Amino acid sequence: MKILVCISHVPDTTSKINFTDNNTKFDSNGVQFIIGPYDDYALARAIEIKEANAGTTVTVLNVGPADTEPTIRKALAIGADDAVRVNAEPSDSFFVAMQIAEHAKSKGYDLILMGRESIDFNGGVVHSIVGELLGIPSLSPVMKLELEGTKAKLAREIEGGKELLEVNLPFVAGCQEPIAEWKIPNMRGIMSARTKPLQVIEPMAVDSGVSLQKFELPPAKGAVKMISSDNVGELVSLLKNEAKVL
């Protein structure tokens, strides 16, 4: 069994978001980068499957410049066997998906796991584009994934509930909790990650359909109005007459 896990390299969830160069570049000053939290679920599930099925290999792939390598090494420390970095700025969803599909098309992966969405650009589309490019099913957001031979049983979250599915391998899944518990690398993992293979490949050329013009920050929030807990009626009248939301 061969599993590919695609990971994004994104600002930690507690990061303050700022831009530079006249609001055209993300300001990475003081920002800590992590494996996307959803991608981390995908990786954790892949490792669980590997632990339960002898002979399974897990490859992680990131489309990114050299400074994403510490993030990739962390995925190796968590338990992936080897890694691929497509050496390019991941300029948009379609570009990233094309690189992933180009790598995957000749490798015979049984399962391609991703996060449901990146937490920087929140596209929620790379898994589905890859599925379409490879001509295989894509399912997202997947909250449960059990393998039964060459078949899988999945649960996909939908508004207000979930949908249960059966699908044959291979397919692409965009993962979210509670598919698995996040894994923390142990010392042995961290040591062995240093010597696991990390292959760097050059990107294919892609005609991009979108270009970024500018970033904006939301307007600053006004001050909070405090209301006494003995005067809850006042809150209701403010919501009605001032905020006009009731």
Ligand X SMILES: Cc1cc2nc3c(=O)[nH]c(=O)nc-3n(C[C@H](O)[C@H](O)[C@H](O)COP(=O)(O)OP(=O)(O)OC[C@H]3O[C@@H](n4cnc5c(N)ncnc54)[C@H](O)[C@@H]3O)c2cc1C
Residues in 65-124 that interact with ligand X by CB under 6 A: 89-93, 96, 114-115, 117-118, 120-124
Kindly state the smallest distance separating residue 131's Cβ from other proteins, in Å.
7
Contacts for 187-194: CB closer than 8 Å, 24+ residues apart:
189/76, 189/77, 189/78, 189/79, 190/77, 192/76, 192/77, 193/73, 193/74, 193/76, 193/77, 194/73
User: What 8-state DSSP symbol labels residue 68?
Assistant: G
Can residue 159 be called a binding residue for other proteins (CB under 8 A)?
yes
Return the amino acid letter for 112: I
Return the amino acid letter for 104: A
Can residue 110 be called a binding residue for other proteins (CB under 8 A)?
no
Nearer to other proteins, 204 or 243 (CB): 243
Q: Which stretch binds other proteins (CB under 8 A): 51-59, 82-90, 192-200, 206-214?
A: 206-214
Q: Applying CB under 6 A, which of residues 62, 71, 138, 176 lies at the interface with ligand X?
A: 62
Nearer to other proteins, 205 or 232 (CB): 232
Can residue 203 be called a binding residue for ligand X (CB under 6 A)?
no
Contacts for 149-158: CB closer than 8 Å, 24+ residues apart:
152/111
Kindly state the smallest distance separating residue 67's Cβ from other proteins, in Å.
19
3-class DSSP assignment, residue 230? coil
Are the beta carbons of 175 and 142 closer than 8 angstroms? yes
Q: Applying CB under 8 A, which of residues 29, 106, 122, 195 lies at the interface with other proteins?
A: 122
Residue 77 binds which one of ligand X, other proteins, none, with CB within 5 to 8 A depending on kind? Answer: none
3-class DSSP assignment, residue 120? coil
Cα dihedral sign, 147-152-153-154: positive
> Contact positions toward ligand X, by CB under 6 A?
6-9, 13, 36-39, 61-64, 89-93, 96, 114-115, 117-118, 120-127, 174, 212
